[in-house]
Amino acid sequence: SQTIHQWPATLVQPVGSPLSLECTVEGTSNPNLYWYRQAAGRGLQLLFYSIGIDQISSEVPQNLSASRPQDRQFILSSKKLLLSDSGFYLCAWSVRGTGGPLPGELFFGEGSRLTVL
Amino acid sequence: DAKTTQPNSMESNEEEPVHLPCNHSTISGTDYIHWYRQLPSQGPEYVIHGLTSNVNNRMASLAIAEDRKSSTLILHRATLRDAAVYYCILRDLDGFGNEKLTFGTGTRLTIIP
């Protein structure tokens, strides 16, 4: 069966410090991978999605970057955190789409709660 | 990108049916309608999806309007565990045919005991 793990679960960082959140998927190959962020009391915002190694699309301009060094590993990073980067970060995967009528159910990780002070 | 519109919040009594509406007037012919829900401090979980016909599964039913410009998620008998934020989403494709799901702010459903 497929599983998705992300860590750390909780992180408190000072403004200006770096960030690295990791996500790995097991039990599947060539998944689509996603990073979402949820600010307090708000909906989910799609940050990045990836269809393959080193193939990453950014949805919104921001202070964050994403990398996919391996097929089932997705990393969210920042060189210098801002207060506005605080939030609940969620990694997700879906079966690689063909562009056809496949709905692509999303499977989410447990989330990482980041507090920037 | 096609957008969805949902009420910010709804309340329902326990053990009664709940109808959660969603408008998607700019939906295209190939967009699937997805519903996810998010319990507090958890990632969203898939509920149901459909294209044109009404759909039923063990969690809920999805009623899709004939013109596909709106849909309704139906919880037949709400329990306290159904209290969550419910997201109505249209599957989107980028220019290369890759899928992405863009979540809105959803409907916060409160169940009254």
pLDDT attached to residue A111:
93
- What burial letters (b/e) apply to B37-52, b meaning 16+ CB within 10 Å? bbeeeebbebbbbbee
Instruction: Tell if the CB–CB gap between B103 and A98 is shorter than 8 Å.
Output: no
Angular region, B8: left φ>0, alpha ψ -120 to 50, beta rest: alpha
pLDDT attached to residue B28:
84
B contacts of A90 (beta carbons < 8 Å) = 43-44
**Which of residues A94 and B7 earns the better pLDDT score?**
B7
Instruction: Tell if the CB–CB gap between A46 and B93 is shorter than 8 Å.
Output: no
Structure tokens given for A30: 């060539």
Nearest CA among A66, A71, A35, A65 for reference residue A53: A71
Computed over every residue of chain B, the mean pLDDT equals 89
pLDDT in tens, A24-67: 999 988 888 999 998 877 778 889 988 888 888 888 767 899 99
B39 at A interface, C-beta within 8 A: no
Pick A44's closest partner by Cβ from B34, B41, B44: B44
pLDDT in tens, A5-21: 999 999 999 999 999 99
State which residue of chain A sits closest to B40, comparing Cα positions.
A41
Residue B86 has pLDDT above 80, yes or no: yes
Round to whole Å and give the CA distance between A47 and A90: 10
pLDDT in tens, B43-72: 899 899 898 989 998 889 999 999 999 999
Residue B91 has pLDDT above 90, yes or no: no
CA of B37 to nearest chain A CA: how many angstroms apart? 11
Residue A75 has pLDDT above 90, yes or no: yes
pLDDT attached to residue A20:
97
Instruction: Tell if the CB–CB gap between A57 and B94 is shorter than 8 Å.
Output: yes
At A19, which amino acid appears? Answer: L
CA of A42 to nearest chain B CA: how many angstroms apart? 6
Which band of pLDDT confidence, cut at 50, 70 and 90, is reported for residue B98? low
pLDDT attached to residue A70:
94
Residue B88 has pLDDT above 90, yes or no: yes
DSSP A36-105: EEE-TTS-EEEEEEEEETTEEEESS--S-EEEEEETTEEEEEESS--GGG-EEEEEEEEPPP-SSS----
Q: Find tokens 């957008």 and name the residue.
A: B3
pLDDT attached to residue A99:
44
State which residue of chain A sits closest to B31, comparing Cα positions.
A101
Instruction: Tell if the CB–CB gap between B99 and A102 is shorter than 8 Å.
Output: yes
Bridge partners (DSSP) of residue B69 are none
State which residue of chain A sits closest to B107, comparing Cα positions.
A43
Which band of pLDDT confidence, cut at 50, 70 and 90, is reported for residue B2? low
